[in-house]
Amino acid sequence: MRLLLLLPVLMLCLFRPALAYDENEMRAAGVYDEFDPDRLTILEKKFLQVGLAFEGLYEAQIDGVWGRSSQKALERYSEKLNFKKTPRNKILALAAIWLAGITETTLSKKLWTYEYLDTYEIAVLIPEKDIKIDGYKKNFYELNDKKSTLRYRLTRGNERSKDLLHELLLEARKKGTEPYRIRKRNLWITSARNQKGVTFYVRSDFIGGSWTTTIVSALDSDAGFLAAVAGSIIPGQTRQLRLDSGVLRRGVDAVKQVAKEEERRKAAAEGSAALSSRPPAEGSDSTPEAKAPASAEYSDTETVSSGSGFTVSAGGDVLTNNHVAGDCSRLTVDGHEAALKATDKTFDLALVHVPALRNTEFATFSENPAPLNSDITVAGFPLTGLLSGLNVTRGSVTAMKGIGGDSTRMQISAPVQPGNSGGPAMNAQGQVVGVVVAKLDAKLVADAIGDIPQNVNFAVRGSMAKLFLYQNGISPRTAPPGGTLSPEAIANRLSAITHFIECH
């Protein structure tokens, strides 16, 4: 049940003490307390700030500093909720908890994620589920939200190029409107609306001797998205917006529990007829499953090529390269029948579904990109005509970009051979940071540097792999950096998730 629909239930439970469970749970969770921002962590305050931005009430930095603009925005939000029966001094606490629940739903719906773009050395909120990467166009890296008017443009250059971008926006602004401007030694911001009604936010950060300029834009219909993204931009890396614990987490959970209890009470009163009319839950025994085609149907097909892949979900989904699985009449993974779910030729990635691999071990991705010169281990099934079984090799990240400055890939020194393609590249903490690409595009290399280098290997960056999975309905498991594992432990993890793919 969507949290937005719980408001009547929440109101009922808050002000009807005949329901004993709600009073105790709400009081223990702090719902009845007065609002005190000092009780909140910085992450909780950032969570509220981004929620207020989505609501169109907050247009400032999402930094966890609770000042006058944050307080005023929350007060305006509480007025919108119209909690007339709540004591005035406790309205803000209830509004904050309600906002946190709504924000959690909003973030989940479009998979809003802080993405660190290491080429530009900034982090920014991106709707991973709906984002479309258009790549490089005229010195700009472009991303577009497929379901809104939100647009991103990023570039890096000298001071003159930075000045020019801000000047262009000032010249293009709608006549009679005043732009918003900040001019500091290491930070320039310009925001204005153009003649077509599009609002642009241009931010330039001086980082590492050059200027990174981020341009985000949207129509008024998506002003909340624009405010959240503009306020989220920050040099360096930052933590994801999650309510793992704290005052807001307890409050949101209490509200959800009350709603569940109210739903159960209503269902019991209405009888079992309403329950029996509901469709079966996904994955239940009564849910029909698509059966894999019988192997006998393909008994005469031959193996054309082979490669590697690794499981990325409990549902039996395997990630590999497009050039491994994208053009096959039939696919098998470890001898089991498999079906191609999605491909992306730009990233050279493919997603394969293998029913036989359901509920087996699957990969955990690193939240952060692999640093330069960091240790990595790759696994796969190379040279199947000569070698037998899984092959594991070690190396390091030798360059942060691929051929011709391709920011979707990184260069690695770990030895790879034909057949390694699609296998995982794992960091020293046992987390996936890339997808091996053993098959180089010889023409691309020759065009870029005039020769074809030997013993130079690449992997699709982990951030690109996660984005591909998000876009195809898979939420990859991620984790922050942890302790270093032994080489043997890493090999065991790789062995549990890496699989042999045959293209027929």
Tokens at 255, concatenated: 């509200």
- Provide the pLDDT for residue 3: 39
The answer to whether the pTM exceeds 0.75 is: no
Structure tokens at 331: 């696919």
- In this structure, how many other beta carbons lie within 10 angstroms of the beta carbon of residue 353? 21
Across the strands, what pairs with 412?
397, 457
pLDDT averaged per 10 residues, the chain (length 504): 41 34 48 76 95 94 95 89 64 87 89 91 93 86 93 95 93 88 96 91 96 96 95 94 87 77 66 48 37 36 79 96 91 92 91 94 94 93 68 90 78 86 96 84 48 69 92 90 92 95 90
pLDDT of 303 reads 60
Q: Which residues contact 328 (CB under 8 A, 6 or more apart)?
A: 304, 340, 503, 504
Interacting residues of 286 by C-beta distance below 8 A, sequence separation 6+:
280
- Identify which of 201, 253, 257, 234 has the alpha carbon closest to the alpha carbon of residue 42: 234
> In this predicted structure, what is the pLDDT of residue 93?
84
Strands, sheet with 234-235, edge to edge from the N-terminal-most edge strand? 112-117, 122-127, 234-235
Query: Measuring CA to CA, how many Å separate 155 from each of 126, 209, 245?
Result: 17, 14, 37
C-alpha to C-alpha distances, 494 to 21, 221, 362, 413, nearest whole angstrom? 47, 46, 10, 18
What is the per-residue pLDDT for 255?
74
Q: Is 260:9 a contact under the CB 8 Å cutoff?
A: no
- Name all domains of the chain by residue range, CATH numbers in brackets: 3-111+243-263 (no CATH), 122-235 (3.40.1000.10), 304-503 (2.40.10.120)
Tokens for 121, please give them.
Answer: 């050395």
What is residue 384's predicted lDDT score, i.e. its pLDDT? 61
